[in-house]
Structures are given as C-alpha cells and as structure tokens.
Amino acid sequence: MVTAPHILPLPMHRATAAAAAAAFSLALAAPGAPLDAPRHPVPATPLRALPSLDSSDGAVREALMKLRGAGDLAPMLTADGIIRRFVTWVEEIASGASDASPEALAALEDVDARSAAMLYSRMYPLLQQAYEERSPGRGYFNDRVVEAIDRLLDDERRFAGPARAKLIEIRGLLAMKGPAR
C-alpha cells in the first residue's frame, strides 16, 4: 500500500494570508461560481515581510523613494493611506469617474519602470487587500490597473510624449497576459 507523503503547509506572511483569505471569501460569497482567474496575473516575487495595510505608509514611502527617478513623486507621498489612496485613484480612472492629472503622469516619466513593476509586485498583497476593502468581490486589482492604463492610453491627445511612452512600458510589464497596446 502506497501512502501519500505528509505535506506540511508553508508558513505564510500575514499580508499574503490576508490576500488568500480575501480570495477564499470571494469563493464563499458566490457558492458554485468559480473564482475567475485574473486576466493579468501579477508575476510572483519572493516573499518579503510586509507591514499590515494600516501601518504600511512608512515602508511604501521609503521603497518608492528608493526607485531611480522617483524624486518627483515625493509631494504625492506626504498624506497617509498611500496604498488605499492609490487603489481609489486607479478605481476612479478605470471607471471613468476621474482622470489622471498630467502632474502625476509627469512624475512617472523618470521612474525606472522595471524597478517600479518589481516593487508593485512585492507590494501587491497590500494593494489587493485595499482593493477588496473598497470593492468586495470585484476580482483582481491588477486587472483594474491595466483597465485604468488602457483608459488613459485611449486619450492620445491628452497623454502624449514621455508620459504616454512610460504608461505603455508599465502596461507591458503589468499585463503579462493579454493584448499589448
């Protein structure tokens, strides 16, 4: 008789566990309805300790300011609730309720897109948690980010030049699946 080896659960970081719990609660909220896979999955990164969402501002601010070319982002990082404010901003852009300010997009022009995408991937459990708080059962935050970028890219007159090129580069890094623009 062959027995299956005993499998021990791997320890999960609190933020990763929260994201997994959020996905599990989505499945429970709609019995019988399978949880759709993300259209644009976030590439996996090695787990590093993340703070709780409520105490993440300092760590997020510090990590963002370490990005090459992020100096122009500093004025946008002074208020509390950085992750939650970013999620709200993305949701408003994706839904058409708001638009990105040219100043915010200009601040992105000099940021190293690959490093920013790696940081985004590392912080993604916090972003997903904040998105679940704001929009329970709405799916995956990264899909919403790609929708927001697509909405901005559709306005070729308003977003041209370096800001547009940076958005296209970032979209390519975050939309690992699906058509490129």
Give the pLDDT band of residue 75 (cuts 50, 70, 90): confident
Q: Are 128 and 22 within 8 A, CB to CB?
A: yes
Residue 110 or residue 23, greater confidence: 110
Confidence of residue 22 (pLDDT cuts 50, 70, 90): very low
**Predicted confidence (pLDDT) per residue in 105-130, tens digit:** 888 888 999 999 999 999 999 999 99
Residue 23 has pLDDT above 50, yes or no: no
Average pLDDT over residues 54-81: 91
Identify the pLDDT of residue 5: 35
pLDDT higher at 82 or 163: 82
pTM: 0.73
Residue 39 clears pLDDT 50, i.e. is over it: yes
pLDDT for the residue 128: 94
What mean pLDDT do residues 16-35 have?
A: 41
Domain boundaries along the sequence of the chain:
51-174
Going by pLDDT thresholds of 50, 70 and 90, the confidence category of residue 29 is: very low
Q: In this structure, are residues 50 and 123 in contact, taking their beta carbons and an 8 Å threshold?
A: yes
Nearest to 55 by CA among 24, 14, 12: 14
Q: What is the mean pLDDT of the chain?
A: 77
Nearest to 109 by CA among 144, 62, 76, 71: 71
How far is residue 119's CA from residue 110's CA, in Å, rounded to a whole number? 16
Q: What is the pLDDT of residue 108?
A: 85
C-beta of residue 106 within 8 angstroms of C-beta of residue 166: no
pLDDT of residue 26: 39
Phi, psi dihedrals of residue 134, rounded to the nearest 5°: -80, -40
